[in-house]
């Protein structure tokens, strides 16, 4: 038996003004004819001025009256015209893009760095383009290779530790390169950041001064996170000089930092209930640890002192203060962007090549002994 059926299809007739009516049949008219890209001639005809004048206005070059400029810009905006900068880039061998290469967007640190970068570049023709490495050197090589192939005007890249291939590409690029977040090492070109070893040493001194001796450390993404590693090295250096050793330490990779902070804190205090201080490699796992302690009615900082790193705004909403240090995130972003913008505009040798910001302790709780305010300034 042959079965047949009729599929009643209904379609909407679509015009350039949108959906207008229902239709009982589908008419195959073939693919739509692509619209012709707008050109300078279109803007010229719409504004009533010559193509050369339109070009000068859109490139912000030459002497053009305010009235003419307004006519051109209004026509371009009405038409939806976007200049094709590829031709100009072919002539200059550069595009107005700044490659920003960072390890992560999943925490609160690098979005604040990006805010600082954007604040400065918004006042220039430069635009940031972001690549994420996930703390993997091989991923950094790939991202850097792809971004440099577009011939950006500059590179802002996190950290001072890179593979030989990445270093070679950055050195040969012939553009301003600013390595950010760290100053404990040698920069390829320019560097803006803080000394993480100094931050670790300063935290250790504050903890010892407050009388804590049974100390645990909880960290993330080590040893791939070189800055966390350097803080740990500075921290243990001061403890060793005082005859104090880390009683317990734990590291993790991946997952929610708040959840991991709770889990690691519970595990560590269960293993070593005599611990009287926990130092976290960042504020997010520190906040998770604080929430665990509050849930278990553990007196902070009386029974157990807690400290993190970065000084993120999230801490302001917690029911109890977490000791921390400001990592100067937005300031680092702004300073790096200024270096790129200034050197792009004025030349290679007109700006500071090395800027170290001073990270201070945050006044988290008087009992802990942190009394200096959060501040970020050249040091």
Task: Please give, one letter per residue, the 3-state secondary structure of the chain.
Answer: CCCCCCCCCCEEEEECCEEEEEECCCCCCCCCCCCCCCCHHHHHHHHCCCHHHHHHHHCCCCCCCHHHHHHHHHHHHHHCCCCCCHHHHHHHCCCCEEEEEECCCCCCHHHHHHHHHHHHHCCCCCEEEEEECCCCHHHHHHHHHHHHCCCCCEEEEECCCCCHHHHHHHHHCCCCEEEEEECCCCCCCEEEEECHHHHHHHHHHHHHHCCCCCEEEEEECCCCCHHHHHHHHHHHHHHHHCCCCEEEEEEECCCCHHHHHHHHHHHHHHHCCCCCEEEECCHHHHHHHHHHHHHCCCCCCCCCEEECCECCHHHHHCCCCCECEECCHHHHHHHHHHHHHHHHHHCCCCCCCEEEECCCECCCCHHHCCCCCCCCCEC
Contact 345, 360 (CB under 8 A): no
pLDDT at 23 over 60: no
Average pLDDT of the chain?
Answer: 83
Nearest to 84 by CA among 96, 72, 74: 96
Whichever domain contains 71, its CATH number is 1.10.260.40
Question: What confidence score (pLDDT) does residue 63 get?
Answer: 85
Q: Does residue 34 surpass a pLDDT of 70? A: no
And the tokens for 97?
């893009």
Q: Does the pLDDT value for residue 28 go beyond 90? A: no
pLDDT at 81: 87
Same domain, 317 and 210: yes
Phi, psi of 267 (to 5 degrees): -65, -40
Cα distance between residue 359 and residue 356, in whole Å: 9
Instruction: Give the tens place of pLDDT for each residue, 45-55.
Output: 999 999 999 98
Last residue of a domain, one of 68, 84, 100: 84
**What is the arithmetic mean of pLDDT over 262-285?**
96
What is the extent of the structural domain holding 266? Answer: 196-326+361-368
In tens, the pLDDT along 155-205 reads 999 999 999 999 999 999 989 999 999 999 999 999 999 999 999 999 999
In a domain, 22, yes or no: no
Say if 28 falls within a structural domain. Answer: no
Q: Is residue 31 part of a domain?
A: no
* Residues 316, 200 share a domain: yes
Question: What average pLDDT does the segment 329-345 reach?
Answer: 94
> Is residue 325 within 8 Å of residue 312, measured between CB atoms?
no
Pair (155, 223) in one structural domain: no
**What's the whole-model pTM score?**
0.76
CA gap 192, 180 in Å, rounded: 5
Strand partners, 193: 181, 356
Domain contains 242: yes
| pLDDT score recorded for residue 21 | 43
Instruction: Look at the chain and report how many structural domains it folds into.
Output: 3
Model pLDDT, residue 313 = 82
Q: Are residues 179 and 280 both part of a single domain?
A: no
183 part of a folded domain: yes
Q: What is the pLDDT, as a whole number, of residue 125?
A: 92
Q: If pLDDT is split at 50, 70 and 90, which confidence band does 85 have?
A: low
- Domain termination residue (choose one: 84, 118, 147): 84
- Kindly report the CA angle at 307 between 306 and 313, in degrees rounded to 5? 120
If asked whether residues 107 and 134 sit together in one domain, one would say: yes
Instruction: Note the pLDDT of residue 7.
Output: 38
Domain match, 344 and 288 both: no
pLDDT digits (tens, 9 = 90+) for 104-126: 988 788 999 999 999 999 999 99
* 116-138 residues labelled b (16+ CB within 10 A) or e (exposed): bbeebbeebebebebbbbebeee
What confidence tens digit (pLDDT) does each residue in 229-240 have?
A: 999 999 999 999
Q: Please give the average per-residue pLDDT across 11-22, as a whole number.
A: 38
In a domain, 133, yes or no: yes
Q: Which of 15, 49, 84 is the last residue of a domain?
A: 84
pLDDT for residue 6 = 39
- Domain co-membership, 112 together with 180: yes
**Residue where the block lists tokens 């005809």:** 45
Per the CB < 8 A criterion, the answer to whether 325 and 203 are in contact is yes
Higher-pLDDT residue of 370 and 132 is 132
Q: What is the pLDDT of residue 316?
A: 82
What's the pLDDT score for residue 368? 41
- Count Cα neighbours of 362 within 13 Å in the Cβ-side half-sphere: 20
Q: How confident is the model at residue 60 (pLDDT cuts 50, 70, 90)?
A: confident
Q: What pLDDT, on a 0 to 100 scale, did the predictor assign at position 266?
A: 98
200 lies in the same domain as 309: yes
Band of residue 12 on the pLDDT scale cut at 50, 70, 90 = very low
User: Does one domain contain both 150 and 210?
Assistant: no
For residue 255, what pLDDT band results from cuts at 50, 70 and 90?
low
| Residues 201 and 190 occupy one common structural domain | no
Backbone torsions φ then ψ of 233, nearest 5 degrees: -65, -45
Rounded Cα–Cα distance for residues 205 and 193 (Å) = 21
**Band of residue 89 on the pLDDT scale cut at 50, 70, 90:** low
Please indicate, yes or no, if residue 78 is contained in any of the structural domains: yes
* C-alpha to C-alpha distance for 41 and 55, rounded to whole angstroms: 10
**CATH number of the domain within which 243 lies:** 3.40.50.2300
Asked if residue 349 and residue 288 are part of one domain, the reply reads no
Flag whether pLDDT at 2 surpasses 60. Answer: no
Cα 379 to Cα 110, 191, 193, 237, 310, distances in angstroms: 22, 13, 10, 22, 18
**Are residues 188 and 260 part of one domain?**
no
The reply to whether 374 falls in a domain is no
């Amino acid at each position: 038996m042959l079965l047949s059926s009729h599929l009643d299809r209904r379609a909407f007739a679509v015009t350039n003004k949108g959906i207008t009516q229902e239709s009982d049949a589908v008419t195959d008219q073939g693919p739509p004819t692509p619209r012709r890209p707008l050109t300078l001639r279109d803007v010229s005809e719409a504004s009533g001025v010559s193509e050369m004048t339109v070009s000068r206005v859109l490139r912000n070059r030459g002497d053009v009256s305010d009235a003419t400029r307004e006519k051109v810009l209004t026509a371009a905006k009405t038409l939806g015209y976007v200049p094709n900068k590829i031709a100009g880039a072919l002539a200059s061998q550069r595009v107005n893009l700044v490659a920003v290469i960072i390890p992560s967007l999943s925490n609160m640190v690098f979005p604040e760095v990006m805010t600082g970068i954007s604040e400065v570049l918004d006042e220039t023709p430069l635009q940031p383009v972001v690549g994420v490495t996930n703390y993997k050197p091989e991923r950094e090589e790939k991202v850097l290779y792809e971004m440099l192939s577009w011939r950006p005007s500059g590179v802002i890249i996190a950290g001072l530790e890179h593979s030989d291939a990445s270093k070679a590409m950055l050195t040969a690029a012939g553009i301003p390169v600013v390595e950010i977040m760290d100053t404990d090492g040698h920069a390829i070109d320019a560097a803006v950041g803080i000394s993480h070893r100094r931050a670790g040493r300063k935290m250790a001194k504050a903890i010892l001064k407050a009388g804590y001796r049974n100390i645990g450390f909880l960290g993330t993404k080590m040893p791939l996170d070189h800055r966390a590693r350097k803080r740990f090295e500075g921290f243990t250096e001061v403890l060793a000089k005082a005859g104090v050793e880390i009683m317990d330490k734990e590291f993790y990779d991946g997952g929610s930092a708040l959840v991991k902070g709770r889990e690691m804190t519970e595990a560590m205090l269960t293993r070593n209930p005599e611990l009287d201080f926990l130092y976290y490699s960042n504020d997010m796992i520190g906040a998770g640890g604080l929430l665990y302690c509050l849930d278990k009615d553990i007196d902070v900082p009386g029974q157990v002192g807690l400290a993190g790193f970065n000084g993120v705004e999230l801490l302001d909403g917690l029911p109890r203060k977490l000791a921390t240090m400001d990592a100067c995130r937005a300031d680092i972003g702004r300073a790096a962007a200024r270096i790129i913008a200034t050197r792009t505009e004025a030349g290679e040798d007109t700006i500071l090549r090395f800027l170290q910001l001073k990270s201070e302790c945050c006044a988290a709780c008087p009992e802990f002994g942190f009394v200096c305010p959060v501040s970020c300034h050249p040091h």
